[in-house]
Amino acid sequence: MKTKIKMTLIAILGLSVINWVPRASAQTIVWGPVTGITGPANLASGVYYDAFIPNTTASSALTVNGITFNIDTIPADGINTSDGIITVTGTSGSINNYNFNDFPSASPSSSDFAAVMNAGGVFQLSGAGAGTVTISGLTPGKKYQVQVFNYANDSDNGFTTLSGLNSVTIGNLPGLSGPNTYGQFATGIFTPTSSTETFNWTGAGSSYTVIGAIYVSEVPATDGIVWGSATGITGPANLASGVYFDAFIANTSGANLLTVNGITFNTNSVGSGNTTSDGKITAVGTSGSLNNYSFADFPTASPSSSDFAAVMNAGGIYQNGGAGAGTVTIAGLTPGTQYQVQVFNYANDGDNGFTTLGGSNSVTIGNLPGLSGPNTYGQFATGTFTPTSSTETFTWTGAGSGATVLGSIYVSGALTNLSPSVTMDTTPSSVTTFLDNSVTTLSATIVGGSPLTNQWMLSTNGGVTFSAVPGATGGTLAVTNSQAGSFQYYLNGSNPYGAVHSSPATYIVIPFSAAAISWQSNGITSDANLSTNGAYFDALMLNNQFGPLLVDGITFNKSLSQNSGYFGDGFINYIGIGSGLNNYSWTGYSGFTTNISADFATLLGDGGVYQVGGGGTGRIIVSGLTKDHVYQVQIFNFANDGDSGLTTFSGVVPATLNNLPAPDSSYFGSCATGTFQATGTAASFNWTGANAGNLYTVVGSISVRDVTVTLKSTLTNGMLQLSWPADHTGWRLQTQANPLSVGLGTNWVNLPNSNLTNQYSAPISTTNGNVFFRLVYP
């Protein structure tokens, strides 16, 4: 291991080698994935059995989180090292010690954990070394997990393969598993058939073959299903992986088998009365008779399919009332084997059909489309369990709606991947919201062999470190945007076979920065009122029943549901604060004059949103801005309902808009045009009803344009000539002068009468170090 490994040559004592390797059972270890080392959280849960640092020069035992890593206790022979329970042997030559001193001790690590990692272990020269690890004193039939940690900072990968029913190759170097990881470890699970278990360690092609710290724990005996979160149904991709065991449509009237993606859903063949069964999966109603249900409108288009829709439409059984009860029993299982069970509920009948599935934890699923968000249909839940007998039973009970429902059931067994896996991840990659105590729900589902532990993790330093969110161990996390900053969340799932996490969601909470808008309002007469100055930034039709709409080259996007209660298109977003929002429109209104194009008339007729009463309030957010750029914002309000709908929009100079056409119909409603300079990436302004006696508070379509102007300059005969577009006459030119060592400051001074023209001349002064100019409005 290059220059940093401490090599110790050990002489063999006497004429014989002491053999510390007892006869072992077959290598039955199933290894989880290679994982980067970060800190004590990597240590597997369970009942401590033994832990060992194989470095024969380690002077004392080391303890981390209550786990004691013992040291070598056998006479030095250069081939074996053991604490009496865990024995490491070199089978292709002598073993050498190594250690380091630079494993991080700061969180998420600790000084105790760093001491264990730095204590190292043993190695053999060349990448073709070989050895064994034997664990003795085991109880046959009891389940154990073993972990091997390798860390070295010597520039050699030290790749070593650990054998078992599958094999895994781990390396030593920092960063092998990504930033802020140090070396690698692997976790395996096994159930010994004798008092010993042995696995091999062999070189995998680098300069050294290395074995580091080893930890063994007992896996507590568990029984009962551990459910993931309720998840919206979309299509065949929802079906769990694994080896098919059985699938069942509980509806007793089902006549045909249905197959989806090679999974056959059987129908009732042996049930009667309050029982329905295909011989393996049996559903029983324990509080009353069973009734069949089915539908015909589950989507068949991608991401669904006609086969999957047929299964969902085939339905299942229900009991009248939300307090029904029953059981599901799965028979013919192999004790000690991990299984997954899924229950799918879909109904389009207006009743939630909430049903709770019992287990080690419980989960409540419902039937209706949209329960888990747009384009989801009903819900399903996935549970994992390891039976201790040939049967497993869970309950289904009503959770308070009009019916207690049980749909199709799928069971997979002999899982090919025992480690956790993410089966559903609806956490958005990024959410930008604003400081107002609204709630965003993050959701993910992780399944794997029992015992499976879920934990939401939070980073406040850009993903450098993550810490557990207290009490957040379910499939969903409600995040309140009550604190400004940038946060990252993911759901971490871990079991004895490994760990995995959902995609990190970046959650940005921005404090409100009120836009310093100076509004000018006027009645709407024609397309000429729609400003085309500057560059298009965004435009929005607030009535979410309409859009997109192209008017004079400006695209008014459709409003969509946004996070935290907002609606919009992601750039312009709005929320009603005082009361709920309602759509309004006046499509087909014939009072518009010929001065207005059909497209512009459609825009006005499509309307916007309103709140009942003349005292409504709300907020408009414009995000994605470029700091210091100048933007122009327009709002159009038109309604032909006899109510003036006066609405005031905040700013340095507020504007109050009226909705009604003028008595002579020469204009239609009102519009306001305002300009502001962005002080950050987002700006906001409020609307309020301007007359408590009005029936409505109204907000129509909105347009935003970037009208940032670049000053043009020329130098002639010692004079600096500045100019800007004539349509920006009325803007003020400001200047500041500072020494060379100071640079740009805040001491802006208005140049007299600059708002009356679009050009300015100034002599070049040799006494000024820095001279700055800018245009501002008003």
What is the model's pLDDT at position 2?
Answer: 28
DSSP states of 170-218: E--SBTTTSTT-BSEEEEEEE--SSS-EEEEEEE-SSSEEEE-EEEEEE
pLDDT of 563 strictly over 50: yes
Task: Please give the pLDDT value at position 570.
Answer: 83
For residues 330-335, average pLDDT: 85
Query: What is the rounded average pLDDT of the residues 408-436?
Result: 70
Give which of 324, 316, 321 is closest to 344, Cα–Cα: 316
Q: Could you read off the pLDDT of 351-383 as tens digits, one per residue?
A: 999 999 988 778 899 999 998 888 999 999 998
**Six-digit token pair at 12?**
């063999």
- 514 against 104, higher pLDDT: 104
Average pLDDT, stretch 383-403? 85
The segment with the largest mean pLDDT, out of 254-258, 408-412, 719-723, is: 408-412
The C-alpha angle 412, 415, 416, rounded to 5 degrees, equals 135
In order of 47, 68, 420, 598, the CA distances from 216 in angstroms are 9, 11, 20, 76
Q: Is the dihedral of CA 239, 242, 244, 250 positive or negative?
A: negative
Place of tokens 């329970």: 85
pLDDT in tens, 121-159: 999 988 889 999 999 998 876 778 999 999 998 888 899
Of 96 and 391, more confident: 96
The pLDDT of residue 203: 92
* Confidence (pLDDT) at 202: 94
Q: With contact defined as beta carbons under 8 Å apart, do 157 and 150 qualify?
A: no
Residues 52, 61: Cα–Cα separation, whole Å: 9
In the CATH hierarchy, which top-level class contains the domain 421-507? Answer: mainly beta
25: confidence class by pLDDT, cuts 50, 70, 90: very low
Higher pLDDT, 272 or 269: 269
- Give the Cα separation of 634 and 521 in Å (integer): 9
Residue 536 clears pLDDT 90, i.e. is over it: yes
pLDDT reported for residue 26: 42
- The CA distance from 250 to 344, in Å, is 11
- For residue 617, report the phi and psi dihedrals to the nearest 5 degrees: -140, 155
Spatial contact of 66 and 18, defined as CB atoms under 8 Å apart? no
What's residue 448's pLDDT? 67
Mean pLDDT of 262-266: 91
Lowest mean pLDDT among 257-266, 579-588, 734-743: 734-743
The token pair that represents 35 in the structure block: 């994982």
Most confident of 116-130, 248-262, 466-480, 572-586: 116-130
Residue 240 tokens, joined: 């769990």
Strand, helix or coil for residue 602: helix
In 99-139, DSSP assigns E strands to: 121-125, 130-135
Q: How confident is the model at residue 449 (pLDDT cuts 50, 70, 90)?
A: low
Confidence class of residue 17 from pLDDT cuts 50, 70 and 90? very low
In terms of Cβ atoms closer than 10 Å to its own Cβ (0-12, 13-18, 19+), residue 341 is buried
**Residue 740 clears pLDDT 80, i.e. is over it:** no
Segment 167-172 shows an average pLDDT of 92
- Say what the pLDDT of residue 247 is: 94
In this structure, of 2-16, 210-224, 291-305, the range with the lowest mean pLDDT score is 2-16
- Dihedral sign for Cα 236, 345, 421, 508, please: positive
Reported confidence tier of residue 534, pLDDT bands at 50, 70, 90:
confident
User: Rounded to 5 degrees, what are φ and ψ at 754?
Assistant: -70, -20
| Whether pLDDT at 55 is above 90 | yes
Average pLDDT over residues 640-647: 89
| pLDDT of amino acid 431 | 73
Q: pLDDT tens digit string along 183-193?
A: 999 998 887 87
Distance in angstroms (rounded) separating the CA atoms of residues 496 and 494: 7
Q: What is the CA radius of gyration of the chain?
A: 35
User: From residue 486, how far is each of 429, 443, 479, 506, 727 by CA, in Å?
Assistant: 13, 19, 12, 7, 40
Q: How far apart are CA 5 and CA 7, in angstroms?
A: 6
518-706, CATH topology level: Jelly Rolls (2.60.120)
Q: In the 3-class helix/strand/coil scheme, how is 655-703 assigned residue by residue?
A: EEECCCECCCCCCECEEEEEEEECCCCEEEEEEEECCCCCCEEEECEEE
pLDDT at residue 23, rounded to an integer = 33
- For residues 572 and 241, the model is more confident at 572
pTM here is 0.39
Q: So what's the pLDDT on residue 3?
A: 26
226 vs 411: which has the higher pLDDT? 411
Q: Which of 403-412, 493-502, 569-578 reaches the highest mean pLDDT? A: 403-412
Beta strand ranges found along 91-196 (DSSP E): 96-98, 121-125, 130-135, 144-150, 160-162, 168-170, 184-190
Q: Name which of 604, 613, 686 is nearest 643 in CA terms.
A: 613
Of the CATH numbers 3.40.50, 2.40.160, 2.60.120, 3.30.70, which one belongs to the domain with range 250-413?
Answer: 2.60.120
Going from the C-alpha of 163 to that of each of 32, 148, 525, the distances in angstroms are: 12, 12, 80
Tell me the sheet residues that pair with 535: 706
Compute the Cα dihedral for 68, 73, 74, 79 and give only its sign.
Answer: positive
Is the pLDDT assigned to residue 109 strictly greater than 50? yes
pLDDT at 15 over 50: no
pLDDT of residue 438: 66
pLDDT-derived band at 111 (thresholds 50, 70, 90) equals very high
Q: Assess whether the region 250-413 and the region 518-706 belong to the same CATH fold.
A: yes
Q: To the nearest 10°, the Cα dihedral for 428, 432, 434, 437? A: 20
Listed by start position, the domains of the chain span: 30-218, 250-413, 421-507, 518-706, 712-776
pLDDT at 306: 94
Distance from C-alpha of 455 to C-alpha of 155, rounded to nearest angstrom? 34
How far apart (Å, rounded) are the C-alpha atoms in residues 365 and 385?
19
Residue 631's region, left for phi above 0, alpha for psi from -120 to 50, else beta, is beta
Q: Are the beta carbons of 777 and 730 closer than 8 angstroms?
A: yes
| Residue 424 pLDDT | 60
Average pLDDT over residues 62-81: 91
User: Residue 177's pLDDT band (boundaries 50, 70, 90)?
Assistant: confident
170 pLDDT band, cuts 50/70/90, is very high
Q: Name the average pLDDT for the chain.
A: 84
Where b means 16+ CB within 10 Å and e means fewer, 71-107 reads bbeeebbbbbbbbebbbbbbeebbbbbbbbeebbeee
CA distance 372 to 39: 36
| Listed range (320-334, 414-428, 515-529, 593-607) with the worst mean pLDDT | 414-428
Nearest to 668 by CA among 566, 551, 524, 553: 524
pLDDT band at 652 (very low <50, low <70, confident <90, very high): confident
Question: Hey, which of 317-321, 476-480, 665-669 has the most confident mean pLDDT?
Answer: 317-321
